[in-house]
Amino acid sequence: MTIIPDVWVTELNILINHTGDVYTDNRLKDILIVPADHVIQENEFNTAYTADILTTGITPDFTDDNYFSRLTVLKGACLTDQSTFRSKALVTGFERLVNQLLLSHADTQKHFVKL
């Protein structure tokens, strides 16, 4: 079983413009196993890969498969950015000008009920 390589973490940091203040390297490795599983399910490779979410490992060794590696890091950046955008939009809201109409979704936190 091959674990998520450090180079993937470095590439993901670059793609999401991450400076290290939100995610640790270990958290990014945990995040990258999910897109690896998605890439395995959505694409056909010459090698049948398996991603183990619990151990954050992939079998067999994938280090020589550039397509798998690049697709996984790119998918990881997309999923991470989506999550970041949703979190920020939930907390701060957002505004968009569509033609002459201003769509505003602000102060969403005040509408949540504390349980």
Q: Do residues 109 and 91 make contact, with C-beta atoms less than 8 angstroms apart?
A: yes
Domain positions in the chain: 2-111
High-pLDDT (> 90) share of the chain, %: 37
Buried b (16+ CB within 10 A) or exposed e, 50-76: ebeeeebebeeebeebeebbebbbebb
Write down the pLDDT at residue 84.
65
Comparison of pLDDT for 81 and 51, the residue scoring more: 51
Q: Do residues 37 and 44 make contact, with C-beta atoms less than 8 angstroms apart?
A: no
pTM above 0.75, yes or no: no
Residue 114 reports pLDDT greater than 60: no
For the chain, the C-alpha Rg in angstroms (whole number) is 18
Distance CA 53, CA 98 (A): 41
